[in-house]
Amino acid sequence: MENLNARLLSLLFALMLGGFPSLVAQEEPVYEEENYDEYSEDEYYDNTYSEEEYYDDAAGLSEDFVRKSEFHIPSSPAFFLMGVTPEIVGRPGTVQDFKVDWRLKNYNIAPDLAIEGQPLWVLLYDRKGLDEYRKATPFMKTLSTMSLSFGTSKIDGINHFSYGMKINLARERDPVSDPELLRDMAREMAGMEEPLRAKLKVLREELDSTVNREERILIREQLFNTRSEIRQINRVQKERLIDLQQEYMRENWNSSSLDFAIGRVHTYNNAFDTLNIQAAGWGAWLSGAKGFGRRSMVSGIARFKQVGENTDLMLGLSYHFGGARFSFFTELIYESLENNSINGFSEDELFASNFSEDIGNGWIKFAPGLEAISQVTLTYGGNFRLSNGILLNFALRTRLDQNLKFKKLLPVANVTCLMR
């Protein structure tokens, strides 16, 4: 009996399902408008961007790699003053990082090194971001290029140390805040985004004018997909901006520039009891460069130095051929020397017994010469950028006397490293 009742109940339930489908049939889903409100957080993509807004976005997106841009990694003024750099005609340039120079001797890194930094850049702009620097006056931008350096080197058998200050007086291009570079980046971003933003505007207008539920659903899906495309473009924009910045560096590596520097040199003895520090002299120089085409650059220098009672004057020209990654150069230098070794040592030269001429830069005090001499130096070498922050600088000097007779052949090489 119980089995019969169970069968009857099952049959009755089956009849109810078949006879009253409307009671159990699933209703058609209702798409409520609020279900799509999750897309509203992306509606900022729908706004039309102005040129100024693209400019600001390009400035912010490119800051990380633009602040590490420099056309050239110049030698430290301290090394340059002592004359231990491969380039005698110092190429002007500025960097926004601390820097270390090493001198190579006998194909090894010698304990001769120099450090250089830009204190005003660090204090005023480094931590505040490039936007603060871009808003600065031309005078403050020039002042921020001032660098201080200190270096030591063993020259002609005697220990030397020097310190110097250098400032960039003028430059054709500033890779950190060049408005032309930022405008190119802004145009690139606009070219990638504006067609999609225009499409979003049309879709929004269609959505506002459509009342049909199915059509509104389709339009919202198109809005969602178009915003996703813009997000994907944002991810690749930085890579494209990096390409633009590298192209800019290749095209402007030889931009014109002008530097002024001044410094002092001392000699010392590494004795256990005392250093016996003695002032050797001071020097000042003006160096400039002018680019021609995409592959050539001519630079020049005028340097004055005084060692004891004697004064030396140097004038030089150099020609560079190459690009941002590597270049080759040749130099012609004329020097009028009053401080030279053929006149003997001054009585107050403490380290005369250590003298053993190698590079022969004349920072040892010699007795006043009865007659000044002149010499000519021909230099040929190159710069090779091993990475974004490491530069190998090498040269071969051929020194001639005032009668253009060969006197000396001297290889010189340095490594410069930015502290990044």
Q: What pLDDT digit, counting tens, does each position of 180-223 carry?
A: 777 777 777 777 777 777 787 888 888 888 888 888 888 888 88
CB atoms within 10 A of CB 128: 10
Residue 23 has pLDDT above 50, yes or no: no
pLDDT of residue 52: 64
Locate all alpha helices (DSSP H) within 95-178, ordered by sequence.
Answer: 119-121, 130-134, 138-144
Nearest by Cα to 178 from 249, 92, 117: 249
The token duo for 417 is 């490293």
User: In DSSP terms, which residues pair with 307 in a beta bridge?
Assistant: 281, 310
Residue 15 has pLDDT above 90, yes or no: no
Report whether 92 contacts 299 (CB < 8 A): yes
The token duo for 128 is 């505040």
* 251 CB-near residues (< 8 Å, 6+ apart): 294
Return the residue matching tokens 């107050």: 348
User: In DSSP terms, which residues pair with 416 in a beta bridge?
Assistant: 101, 391
Report whether 168 contacts 257 (CB < 8 A): yes
pLDDT of residue 317: 96
**What DSSP character marks residue 262?**
E
DSSP-based three-state secondary structure for 203: helix
* pLDDT over 70, % of the chain: 81
Q: Are strands 257-268 and 278-292 parallel, antiparallel or unpaired?
A: antiparallel
pLDDT of residue 152: 92
Give the distance, in angstroms, between the CA of residue 14 and the centroid of all CA atoms in the same chain. Answer: 81
Question: Whole-model pTM?
Answer: 0.75
Confidence label for 41 from pLDDT (cuts 50, 70 and 90): very low
Measured between alpha carbons, how far is 69 from 96 in angstroms, rounded to an integer?
8
Measured between alpha carbons, how far is 225 from 223 in angstroms, rounded to an integer?
6
Residue 4 has pLDDT above 60, yes or no: no
Residue 173 has pLDDT above 80, yes or no: yes
Report whether 321 contacts 298 (CB < 8 A): no
User: E strands within 220-293?
Assistant: 257-268, 278-292
Nearest by Cα to 320 from 260, 379, 382: 382
pLDDT of residue 16: 52
Rounded mean pLDDT of 389-406?
87
Q: Which of 9-23, 132-146, 330-344 has the lowest mean pLDDT?
A: 9-23
Residue 33 has pLDDT above 60, yes or no: no
Report whether 331 contacts 301 (CB < 8 A): no
pLDDT of residue 56: 64
CB crowding 178-214: b at 16 or more within 10 Å, else e: beebbebbbebbbeebeebbebbeebeeeeeeeeeee
Residue 27 has pLDDT above 50, yes or no: no
CB atoms within 10 A of CB 420: 13
Output the average pLDDT for the chain. Answer: 80
Locate all alpha helices (DSSP H) within 83-137, ordered by sequence.
Answer: 119-121, 130-134
Confidence label for 95 from pLDDT (cuts 50, 70 and 90): confident
Give the distance, in angstroms, between the CA of residue 133 and the centroid of all CA atoms in the same chain. Answer: 15
- Cα diameter, the chain: 143
User: In DSSP terms, which residues pair with 366 in a beta bridge?
Assistant: 345
Residue 169 has pLDDT above 50, yes or no: yes
pLDDT of residue 182: 75
Measured between alpha carbons, how far is 332 from 151 in angstroms, rounded to an integer?
26
* 59 CB-near residues (< 8 Å, 6+ apart): 130, 131, 134, 182, 185
The one-letter amino acid at 247: E
The CB-side HSE value for 420 (13 A sphere, CA atoms) comes to 15
Measured between alpha carbons, how far is 55 from 53 in angstroms, rounded to an integer?
5
User: In DSSP terms, which residues pair with 101 in a beta bridge?
Assistant: 114, 416
Choices 3.30.70.360, 2.40.160.40, 2.40.50.140, 1.10.443.10: CATH for 66-172+255-418: 2.40.160.40
List pLDDT tens digits, range 228-245.
777 777 677 777 777 777
Report whether 55 contacts 362 (CB < 8 A): no
CB atoms within 10 A of CB 298: 16
Phi-psi region of 323 (alpha: psi -120 to 50; beta: other; left: phi over 0): beta
**What DSSP character marks residue 124?**
I
Residue 109 has pLDDT above 90, yes or no: no
Rounded mean pLDDT of 381-390?
89
